[in-house]
Structure 1
């Protein structure tokens, strides 16, 4: 299947799960006299959960069992944001920043931290979801039910994805959830000596806490009716932080998408604003297109979400009309811009993580995984597992490409930059596949040359950073894999 078609089918499965969760929870809430909040909550959780990757059905089942409990805690925080905003903000900041700090422990602890952010993100969209029926026990049942319904629909979507032969659009849930076998964190650290400072996960957690705290204050003071947009943007641009440049790049895409979504929303008011079931169809169509194109640019997703929320407010009768629409949507864009500026400031001035250091770290992890592919056979770690670990680490390198391509577009090609090294690293993937499909790992002499080439590439990552040197060794490694090395040319 063509990659574009595969991505489209994956997006369709994800959005279908969200639509199913929304319809189910809406029907349940209306049947018991509740409002729309839990339906929105179920939609957001389902859409976000369906885009996450899980190693196995068992891992998904464990996450599914925990999600309703986490959702209940998050809903309590959402209630505090309405009833006692300052207390709720403190709890929310902790709920979003502590899971980032938990990444340092890796494995299940990191995955648990990533799971926590799902319902906490949802309450930014529907902070009042807890106030539904006026009966607290029924409200609790609805809140837990929203998570259960979302999980059920995502479970169905995952199985449909397996039957269709596609993977639901995934995202790395957090640092520490990358390749398992051959990731070699200790060896990677030896290749790129870390300065004596706080771990990256701790620094990013503190950045997130500072950004969210500032966003709450700025939102309340400047945009009391749209404060959550400021907070949501600050969270988005700092989540999955891959360095200062990544935050700037993501902020620009977020603002561009919000502007595009606002323009489309206003255009609907002048043409024919969707209402009733048509509005629902347009909302989920926008989410489908945004999910499909998100892999090409985050701006598409930001546009889709901005448009979907504007239409949702109109559907629920809470959106302004006439001249005030321009003012409200304009204020929302300003709130988003403010959140982006706050996120950038936190990334640059609160224990910053340099983009170049992230590139070096991920290149080092990739090279360790590549070395494991051509290491002597080990029954404990099958060859297929080592190859998959290399591909996973290479995918993590590829995640860095968009922001560094943007930097090259702005700065030109006068010198060797990080993106040149990233592209040279990505070329190793096809070379490894060709080698394994041809003569396999090869004899002792061949693997010896490959291991020396990998070692040279790893040594080139040592400080001070010299991308020209790194680029040269990666090209030499590629030539060795292709059989064009100095000692093994054909």
Structure 2
């Protein structure tokens, strides 16, 4: 129990009581990081696949007397393929049994060339990676093949195979390692039952717990604002898992009745999640007042909800009941749909598709990483090349490369230092080293989507332990590894800015266009004579998911606004401060919040407000024209009457219109009329 402590009231309590009081906050932290424990289950399946690959490859190694590098390759490929094959169809997973071993043989052969002729091997490796990345510009099976082809190639960089092992193993063992990895992944993803309905119910219960915690926090506090954002993410997780539920095909009338009942339960849970989120959002109205004048009038506040606490209590009770009923539904999971192929462009070399540009950037970044790594670090060049690959492989634009590089450097620097020190502590004990590696892997897989710096920290740490286990020692690694990471990030940033760059704001405008299109469809559905609540809710969630994609793409812009833009605008006069790209992205998120409230409005009230809904649809169209830099865009007109969510939505649309960049006029592209005249910069450009 430990030393007792004295409370403020003079009571003597054991120290363990502090842990009891802190336990609810720890649970809230887990709910925020992983609603419904969906990511934890995926991480555990990936860890199980990697451990199985390790054991199977180890047994084959003992029987065939091959070097231990094959075991590590199989483990690494299992980790990488598991993410690629997650939530895909059975046909796609079985096809990986052919693709990955074939590419594994090519990767093993490329690794042998890297060891015998560094420059020829580097050229072959860069060409293979660039070609695989280029295939991702297509849709369907070609895109899937491009993603799968990258995994064995990158394993060659991750796994330090000595020259003697490469000569003794031969390229064929690269295919064997890939086959073992894919087979273990398929078994790990199919043997444990996937129950998306149960995960959705767990996320809904987490939503209810976070709402109760939100009510206990003081209004206007930062903790309340952070918890409100986490609450929205939790609701989207529940909605995402509900959309993934695949009910069995009814074979008889009894099965058909049961399937209909289960579908009704899932629909009721989705409606309860939306109602709870909207009711909880009323608590935050005082924290962020907004209407046509920037403040909530007493009449609007009274019309919004006369009894917000009672409405929230009823919503929470209904949510708990719906979650309990949906948790017992046994159903499968729909596979993820393949992204469609992008439209063909007619501009030739001057108008290349973004995926083609990103493939060229990745190729240039890795080529520069190989050059810098071999010239400065000799045999330890892989840290530079791995970093150059990581910062450019999943980039959305040049601002995203800079942002990802910053997170990579922050996480990898700390991971290289702590991992190298920990590797020295566990050196000589192979079992403990392997346990540490898998511990880092589990944490990284679980929390990688929360913040990329966590993934960079865990991967760099486990690589430090892995390389020490393979024979790399010395305190010089504490300096060489961070240096290689920093130079690799520099190679990626240079490629993103000077090789067919993709502007961050251009990517954001594409994501925003999809969100506004979904909002326009919501307005059309709300204007029907008898609006259907289910259709309204689904369209509102489409707006939410599109806005979430915009938030991911605008992470670099928000970081630029925090660390650069605010510092420069603080020295300017208020009339000279221009809106930032992250500002209009935040305003579009506010539009999505009001769209949710509109979808939860009574259909009779929507039917009575058809003229105001038509005006809102026109306002959305004008905002879309403004976003597309079309000259016929006109400022939105305010709505005078209608449901409160509709009034707030029109207010936010007006604010969004004002914050969007002004379309360039012909005079902006003409030569300066006088010496020294400089065209005005595009506001909010952070990339």
| Interval of TM-score (by shorter of Structure 1 and Structure 2) | 0.7 to 0.9
User: Which residue among 147, 172, 182 is the counterpart of 1:114?
Assistant: 147
Partner SS, residue 399 of structure 1:
helix
Superposed counterparts of 1:88-487, under 5 Å? 88-126=121-159, 128=161, 132=165, 139-159=170-190, 160=192, 162-163=194-195, 196-268=350-422, 273=427, 275-316=429-470, 318-320=471-473, 325-372=474-521, 392-413=545-566, 414=569, 415-439=578-602, 448-449=614-615, 451-463=617-629, 482-484=645-647
Deviation at 1:241, TM superposition (A): 1.7
The superposition leaves residues 272-326 of structure 1 with CA deviations (integer Å, 9 ceiling, x where unpaired) of 657221111111101112222322322222221222122123333x022xxxx22
Number of aligned positions between the proteins = 460
State the alpha-carbon separation in 2 of the partners of residues 194 and 429 from structure 1. Answer: 37
Deviation at 1:251, TM superposition (A): 1.3
Partner SS, residue 223 of structure 1:
helix
Deviation at 1:60, TM superposition (A): 3.2
Structure 2 residue ranges without an equivalent (≥5): 1-29, 201-236, 241-334, 529-533, 570-577, 653-687
State the alpha-carbon separation in 2 of the partners of residues 387 and 28 from structure 1. Answer: 53
Deviation at 1:123, TM superposition (A): 1.1
Higher RCO (CA 8 Å, separation ≥ 6 residues)? 1
State the alpha-carbon separation in 1 of the partners of residues 649 and 399 from structure 2. Answer: 37
* Maintained 8 Å contact 2:388/2:491: yes
State the alpha-carbon separation in 2 of the partners of residues 152 and 260 from structure 1. Answer: 35
2:83 pairs with 1:51: yes
Relative distance call for 1:386 and 1:261 in structure 2 (3 A) is same
Deviation at 1:449, TM superposition (A): 4.3
Relative distance call for 1:370 and 1:95 in structure 2 (3 A) is farther
| RMSD value, Cα | 4.1
State the alpha-carbon separation in 1 of the partners of residues 97 and 117 from structure 2. Answer: 30
* Maintained 8 Å contact 1:9/1:166: no
Relative distance call for 1:121 and 1:370 in structure 2 (3 A) is farther
* Maintained 8 Å contact 1:33/1:133: no
Deviation at 1:357, TM superposition (A): 1.1
Of stretches 383-392 and 143-152 in structure 1, the one that deviates more from structure 2 is 383-392
Deviation at 1:333, TM superposition (A): 1.6
Deviation at 1:445, TM superposition (A): 5.0
Q: Between Structure 1 and Structure 2, whose CA radius of gyration is higher?
A: 2
Relative distance call for 1:47 and 1:180 in structure 2 (3 A) is closer
State the alpha-carbon separation in 1 of the partners of residues 408 and 66 from structure 2. Answer: 33
* Maintained 8 Å contact 2:138/2:342: no
Structure 1 residue ranges without an equivalent (≥5): 171-176
* Maintained 8 Å contact 2:67/2:168: no
State the alpha-carbon separation in 1 of the partners of residues 616 and 47 from structure 2. Answer: 45
Relative distance call for 1:344 and 1:87 in structure 2 (3 A) is same
State the alpha-carbon separation in 1 of the partners of residues 597 and 193 from structure 2. Answer: 29
* Maintained 8 Å contact 2:46/2:188: yes
State the alpha-carbon separation in 2 of the partners of residues 345 and 397 from structure 1. Answer: 25
State the alpha-carbon separation in 2 of the partners of residues 44 and 417 from structure 1. Answer: 41
Relative distance call for 1:307 and 1:463 in structure 2 (3 A) is same
Partner SS, residue 162 of structure 1:
coil
Deviation at 1:227, TM superposition (A): 0.9
Partner SS, residue 260 of structure 1:
helix
The superposition leaves residues 145-200 of structure 1 with CA deviations (integer Å, 9 ceiling, x where unpaired) of 32222222222333337247559x99xxxxxx99879x89669x9xxx99953222
Partner SS, residue 424 of structure 1:
helix
Q: Counterpart in 2 of 1:62?
A: 95
* Maintained 8 Å contact 1:10/1:166: no
Q: Counterpart in 2 of 1:174?
A: none
Per the normalisation by structure 1, the TM-score is 0.80
Deviation at 1:434, TM superposition (A): 4.4
Superposed counterparts of 1:10-49, under 5 Å? 10-49=42-81
Deviation at 1:460, TM superposition (A): 1.9
Relative distance call for 1:97 and 1:185 in structure 2 (3 A) is closer
* Maintained 8 Å contact 2:420/2:465: no
Of stretches 279-288 and 127-136 in structure 1, the one that deviates more from structure 2 is 127-136
Relative distance call for 1:116 and 1:29 in structure 2 (3 A) is same
Per the normalisation by structure 2, the TM-score is 0.59
Deviation at 1:389, TM superposition (A): 6.0
